[in-house]
Amino acid sequence: MKLCIETAEPCDGEELRTLLIDAAEQLLGAGNALLEAKLPWDGHPILFADASGHPVLISFDPEQGQSALLNGLRTSEQLASALPWINQVYEALAGRQLPVRLVVVSRDYPPGSRAILSACPLLTLFRYRILNINGETGLWLERMDDASDTPRHDDASDTPRPEPQPALECAPEPDGGSTPPAPGAALPSLSDEETAFFQQL
């Protein structure tokens, strides 16, 4: 079969929302669950749970990367402060109180993104293009990799990308980034109130 790929006209926000929800596995890996398709905050981001139980906020804007990032950061902060409540509401989070991951999708990476990315292990940035593949609309996602100087261009097709794992690996464990305690020295767990208090400085 002949494969005909060409760029398509930019889409609007609602069309992009649908495409992003369809591409959730590429963005978040397998085993994710959609929690809210349209949150009632600026930019109306999407809320998912990933396979490990992190709440994942997808903030997007068809054109403005800066707006997508700022809206995402603002909503992340609100979600972080309401984490105990969110864990009660959504069963997919399994009550693990894990910190919120933020995924920002826009036509271009937001300005200063490399510096922001290196400081925020729970942030993942994607840029997108709308493609027309044999008459079907498809979404091409390119993830900004903070380990390399230039974004990768080797996967410009509708082939699913490898799962975006690094952000997940960088996410702090409940024990923190310090050396795990010695065997036998089990540390007490934190209450909801304590967890929320130590969520941020």
Partner 1 sequence: MTTQLSPVWQRRPASSDRLARISARFLSDTPDTADNADSCRTIPFLLDNPGQSWVTHDLCRVLGQRGHKAVLCHLDEPWNSQQRDLSGEPGTRTEGSQYCLLPVTSLETVRAARFDHLVLLVPASLSAVRTAYRRIKALSEEPRPEIGIVVVGPRDQHAAWRYFRKLAVGSLRYLDMPLLNLGFLPEDVTPEHGPVNHHRKNFLARISERLVRSGFYLSATDRSAQG
Rounded to a whole number of angstroms, the minimum distance from the CB of residue 166 to partner 1 is 17
Question: How far is the C-alpha of 24 from the C-alpha of 58, rounded, in Å?
Answer: 10
| Cβ at position 120, least distance to partner 1 in Å | 12
Residue closer to partner 1 by CB (options 148, 178) is 178
Shortest Cβ 71–partner 1 spacing (Å):
23
Q: Closer CB to partner 1, residue 42 or residue 194?
A: 194
Q: Note whether 175 and 188 are within 8 A (CB).
A: no
169 near partner 1, rule: CB under 8 A: no
In the chain, % helix, strand, coil (3-state, to 5) comes to 30, 20, 50
115 binds partner 1 (CB under 8 A): no
To 10 degrees, the CA torsion angle through 87, 93, 99, 104? -110
Per CB under 8 A, which of residues 132..151 are in contact with partner 1?
A: none
Q: Which stretch binds partner 1 (CB under 8 A): 67-75, 87-95, 140-148, 168-176?
A: 168-176
What track of x and - describes contact with partner 1 for positions 172 through 201 (by CB under 8 A)?
A: xxxxxxxx-xx-xx-xxxxx-xx--xx-xx
CA distance 140 to 127: 8
Judged by CB, which is closer to partner 1: 89, or 187? 187
Q: Are 43 and 59 in contact (CB under 8 A)?
A: yes
| Tokens found for residue 28 | 């978040």
Interface with partner 1, residue 94, by CB under 8 A: no
Tell the smallest beta-carbon distance from residue 85 to partner 1 (Å).
16
Cβ distance to partner 1 smaller for residue 85 or 198: 198
Residues 82, 109, 131, 14: is their CA dihedral positive or negative?
A: positive
The pattern of x and - marking residues 2 through 21 that bind partner 1 according to CB under 8 A reads --------------------
Count of other CB atoms within 10 angstroms of residue 99: 19
**Is there a contact between 45 and 83 (Cβ–Cβ < 8 Å)?**
no
144 exposed, middle or buried (CB, 10 Å; 0-12, 13-18, 19+)? buried
Q: Give the footprint of partner 1 on this chain (CB under 8 A).
A: 172-179, 181-182, 184-185, 187-191, 193-194, 197-198, 200-201
